[in-house]
Amino acid sequence: MIENIELKILRYTPSKDIKPAFEKYIIPLVEGMTVLDLLLYVKENLDHSISFRHSCRMGICGSCAAIVNGKPVLTCQTQVSKLKSKKVEIRPIENFPVIRDLVCDFDEFYIKHREIKPYIIQSDKSKKENLSLEILQTHKEINNYFQFSLCIKCGLCFSTCPITSTNTHYLGPQALSQAYRYLADSRDQDNHERIDIVNTRNGCWGCHLAEACSEACPKGVDPSLGIQLLRRIVIFSHLK
């Protein structure tokens, strides 16, 4: 006997709808189905008008983030069988304006990401201009920032952060942990500008250490640890 799944999707088009409302779909469950597969089934067979983002289907692109049964997850990485429920409820991620259904506007998120200068700053001109030059690092130097380089910018940490939801100026866990990722990189030099950007109330000092970001990250990155390490860098750079 084929098992059915009751899928509820929070649908909303700001220009058309007064408020968001759930729409219900019944989907036959196939072994190995992910939540993204449920959405694709709806799109292909039941309702073409539903909107959601997806791309790689293997937890690399970070475009399919959503709140599934109350938990922030990547839909492509979430097996329906693991949810242990015949009812699946999908909402768009929090702290982002909704464009349509599950599609959110990431503009503000990327502005904040760009603000912390997410690239290696080389002050040595000879190194900067020599594109074929390799700057070697030891394993220890790589381990200083490695986990933070796994960030796929899915927005789940930003979505669960209680500070981001109350303070729109707060840079957020993604941008701050990425600031640490570059500050901890031994190839990065002349980084006082980045330190000044994060050394504010809306920067690394705004974090309350709720650790919701670390709990939500699907790639195992620990942004709250990154923010604490960032505070250490800021303090020691200030004392120098």
Partner 1 sequence: MKESSLMILHYITGIFIFVLGAIHLATHSFLGVEGYSYSLQYVSIIERYRNPIFAITLELLLVTLSYHGLNGIRVILLEIKQGKLWDSVVNWLVFLLGILIVTFGSLTVMIIYFFR
User: Where does this chain bind partner 1 (CB under 8 A)?
Assistant: 163, 166-169, 199-203, 205-206, 231, 234-235, 238-239
Which residues lie closer than 8 Å to 61 by C-beta, 6 or more apart?
54, 55, 152
What is the rounded CA–CA span in Å between residue 46 and residue 4? 14
Torsion (CA) 168, 172, 178, 184 in degrees, nearest 10: 110
Q: Which is nearer to partner 1, 88 or 233 (CB)?
A: 233
Residue 118 C-beta: closest distance to partner 1, Å: 21
Q: Which is nearer to partner 1, 209 or 235 (CB)?
A: 235
Q: At what angle do helices 223-239 and 172-183 cross, to 10 degrees?
A: 50
42 secondary structure, DSSP code: I
CB 201 within 8 A of CB 174: no
Q: Which is nearer to partner 1, 48 or 238 (CB)?
A: 238
Q: Which is nearer to partner 1, 86 or 208 (CB)?
A: 208
Residue 183 C-beta: closest distance to partner 1, Å: 14
Residue 164 C-beta: closest distance to partner 1, Å: 12
What is the rounded CA–CA span in Å between residue 114 and residue 127? 23
Helix segments in 18-101, DSSP class H? 35-41
Residue 29 C-beta: closest distance to partner 1, Å: 45
Q: Which is nearer to partner 1, 28 or 162 (CB)?
A: 162
Residue 211 C-beta: closest distance to partner 1, Å: 18
5 three-state secondary structure: strand
